[in-house]
Every structure is written in C-alpha cells, then in structure tokens.
Amino acid sequence: MPKIRRPPPAGVLDHLVARYRDGRITMRDFEDLKHWLESEPDVPPGKWFKRFPKFILAGEGDLPKTFLASGMTPYGEEVE
C-alpha cells in the first residue's frame, strides 16, 4: 500500500488550496487533515477517500486530489 506523497505536487497543492478558498474546508478541517497525514496512513493504489467530520478527502494512489463538500459522492475505497 502506498503512503500519501508529501508534499503533493504543486498543481495538486494549488487545487487543494483553491478548494479551501472556495469554503469547502475550514482551518479546523486543515488541522484534522494535518493530524491524519502525520500518522503516515496507507492508501490503496487506486481511487480512495477519507471521511472527516466536515469534508471528504478524495485521492488516487499516493496523491490527494480534492476535497468533497457535503452531498458529494466519493468513489473508490474508503480508508481509515
């Protein structure tokens, strides 16, 4: 199982920051994400998602791809 690439490539990081600016996630959400990333979680090689209290992080392989807002449907394998 791959680990999440840290830091993500610039284009991916720019996209995640844009989702923050769109209001999909808050600073508290970023703190939750930071703690999860610090645990060096394993993720599947294909599409995956991680549920947080107020958002869902979706990715593929070692790359986080986007933040999903409430009501959006994630695809792939759910990770803990």
Structure-token match 């449907």, residue found: 73
pTM: predicted TM-score of the whole model, two decimal places: 0.84
Task: For residue 57, give every residue at least 6 positions away whose Cβ sits within 8 Å of its Cβ, in sequence order, or none.
Answer: 33, 49, 50, 64, 66, 67, 68
Q: Is the pLDDT confidence value at 41 over 90?
A: yes
* Whole-number percent of the chain with pLDDT over 90: 36
pLDDT digits 0-9 by tens, 8-33: 778 877 887 887 888 877 888 888 98
